[in-house]
Chains A and B, each alone.
Chain A
Amino acid sequence: MYADFDLVIPETLDEALEALAGAVGGGNGGTQPLAGGTNMIVDLRARRVAPSRLVGLGRLDGLRGIRIADGRVRMGARTTMSDILRHPDLAGHAPSLVDQARVFGGQMVRNAATVAGNICSGSPAADAVPALLALDAEVTLASPSGTRVVPLSEFFLGYKRDARAPGELMTEIAWDIPPAHSSNRFYKLALRKGDAITVVGVAVALAAEDGKCGTARIALGAVAPIVKRATAAEAMLCGQALTPELIDAAARQAVDDVDPIDDIRASAEYRRHCVHALTRRLVTQAWERLT
């Protein structure tokens, strides 16, 4: 049996921030937040983590839900994958985020798994992250001394290392509603369709201006220590009218932007091949919708 821990389940955000404020160091011990538990409890049972105290977020209803207003989508940290699937308006402008929720775990995991838990798990295979990076999301981090907003593209510092200070809680994930002439897509490649860990995840968001590609964001999952943007590939697309040759060249560039490993699911070489093929496919699909 794994070691027992103190469990506190605060009623308000302020209480939660106070309870977390004593957190030292982070890592595998100390005080940690508990959201849906789909990583945390599995890690506890496997003795990969041994916190002395968990702060359950389950009563913080203000941290759950999706609000779309004034050109911005604001998602509470505790919003679950099922909440994303049920939302009536999200599929219209963030199909990439909805599509990842559809292939996320099985339905019971989707009922529990939260967006912030997915981001803060630090897994390079975390499925919500590529779509959120391609949407250029920002995250809000809160502590008793105040809040700060960090672009998701600057949040991940290295394998399982991120920009949170000890005790900081993620409260919100937000992004601008993509402009009218834009398109975003996500694809998860895994060894089987259902309930499987991602081998390669790719999200692409393009916006067109006067027949050219105005902005391009490409985010790649499970092919580097962190989920990351393929910025050199993006730069090749910006300001250009996209042709099959240019898309293929950018997709090849994306392979140079990643650093995959061999593991039980796939070889590094196969992952590189898939980064090329999937980037090319998704950029092509997104561009076709714009022209």
Chain B
Amino acid sequence: MPTVSMTVNGQPAAGEVEGRTLLVEFLREHLRLTGTHVGCDTSQCGACVVHVNGKSVKSCTMLAAQADGAEVTTIEGLATNGELHPMQAAFKEHHGLQCGFCTPGMVMSAVDLLNTNANPSEREIREWLEGNICRCTGYNNIVKAIQAAAGQTGG
């Protein structure tokens, strides 16, 4: 069995996995970080998005062993000292979630967007979220939340 070790939310994490163990399974079942969700088995929904070396990836579509040695950030890693990350606070404030199932992936994608493009247009926000599916909100409030987190007024 492969042994994997990586940095997860700034902490070292290691474990024995099978070759087939997905990164999301390692996070949820080995590390008990259940904030990252699994919403499909076809790599379509984006509920499982985490950052690997700073970039969004679908953690259901990566083997744990492929993340060996990487820096991984999950939704649990965003808040600091019990204080919501500005993107989380904006989702809360602007009703960017209803049932919340898609939210961890949405927030992780959105954080990557603002890291890449600090002042995205509405179109750029919507294009960026193409791989994140939400069945509740109709997306409008998600877009508003991201605009607000980017410091854009009218969000």
* Chain A residues within CB distance 8 Å of chain B: 1-7, 9, 34, 37-38, 41-42, 44-46, 54, 56, 58, 82, 105-109, 111-112, 193-195
Indicate if the CB atoms of A9 and B66 lie closer than 8 Å.
Answer: yes
Task: Give Cα A106 to B55, complex, Å.
Answer: 13
Distance to closest chain B CB from A88 (angstroms): 16
Report which of B41, B46, B65, B66 forms a contact with A45, defined as CB distance below 8 A. Answer: B41
Indicate if the CB atoms of A4 and B18 lie closer than 8 Å.
Answer: yes
New contact pairs (19) apart from A2-B20, A41-B63, A195-B131, CB-CB < 8 Å: A5-B19, A5-B20, A6-B19, A7-B2, A7-B63, A37-B61, A37-B66, A41-B43, A42-B42, A42-B61, A45-B41, A45-B42, A56-B65, A56-B66, A106-B132, A109-B58, A109-B131, A111-B55, A112-B58
Distance to closest chain A CB from B25 (angstroms): 10
CB of B109 closer than 8 Å to a CB of A: yes
Chain B residues with CB under 8 A of A194: 127, 130-131
Chain A residues with CB under 8 A of B68: 9
Chain A residues with CB under 8 A of B44: 195
Given that A42-B43, A45-B41 are known contacts, is A108 also in contact with B109, CB under 8 Å in the complex? yes
Chain A residues with CB under 8 A of B60: 41, 45
Of A1, A7, A105, most B-chain CB atoms within 10 Å: A7
Chain B residues with CB under 8 A of A5: 19-20
Given that A7-B65, A109-B131 are known contacts, is A44 also in contact with B20, CB under 8 Å in the complex? yes
Indicate if the CB atoms of A195 and B130 lie closer than 8 Å.
Answer: yes
Sample 20 A-B pairs with CB under 8 A, ordered by A number. Answer: A7-B20, A9-B66, A9-B68, A34-B66, A38-B43, A41-B61, A42-B42, A45-B42, A46-B42, A56-B63, A106-B129, A107-B128, A107-B131, A109-B58, A109-B131, A111-B57, A112-B57, A112-B61, A194-B131, A195-B44
Chain A residues with CB under 8 A of B88: none
Report which of A46, A58, A82 forms a contact with B66, defined as CB distance below 8 A. Answer: A58
Interface string of B56-72 (1 = CB under 8 A from A): 11101111011010000
Distance to closest chain B CB from A243 (angstroms): 37
Indicate if the CB atoms of B19 and A54 lie closer than 8 Å.
Answer: yes
Please classify how large the interface on chain B is, using the bins under 10, 10 to 19, 20 to 34, 35 or more.
Answer: 20 to 34
Of A5, A46, A109, A194, most B-chain CB atoms within 10 Å: A109
Interface string of B1-23 (1 = CB under 8 A from A): 01000000000000000111010
Report which of A2, A9, A112, A193 forms a contact with B65, defined as CB distance below 8 A. Answer: A9
Indicate if the CB atoms of B56 and A108 lie closer than 8 Å.
Answer: yes
Given that A111-B56, A194-B130 are known contacts, is A37 also in contact with B65, CB under 8 Å in the complex? no
Indicate if the CB atoms of A41 and B41 lie closer than 8 Å.
Answer: no
Indicate if the CB atoms of A4 and B66 lie closer than 8 Å.
Answer: no
Chain B residues with CB under 8 A of A193: 127, 130
CB of B142 closer than 8 Å to a CB of A: no
CB of B148 closer than 8 Å to a CB of A: no
Chain B residues with CB under 8 A of A4: 18-20
Distance to closest chain A CB from B71 (angstroms): 14
5 A-B pairs closest in CB distance: A106-B131, A194-B130, A7-B19, A106-B130, A108-B56
Distance to closest chain A CB from B26 (angstroms): 13
Given that A45-B41, A106-B130 are known contacts, is A37 also in contact with B2, CB under 8 Å in the complex? no
Task: Give Cα A199 to B20, complex, Å.
Answer: 32
Indicate if the CB atoms of A105 and B131 lie closer than 8 Å.
Answer: yes
Interface string of B114-138 (1 = CB under 8 A from A): 0000000000000111111000000
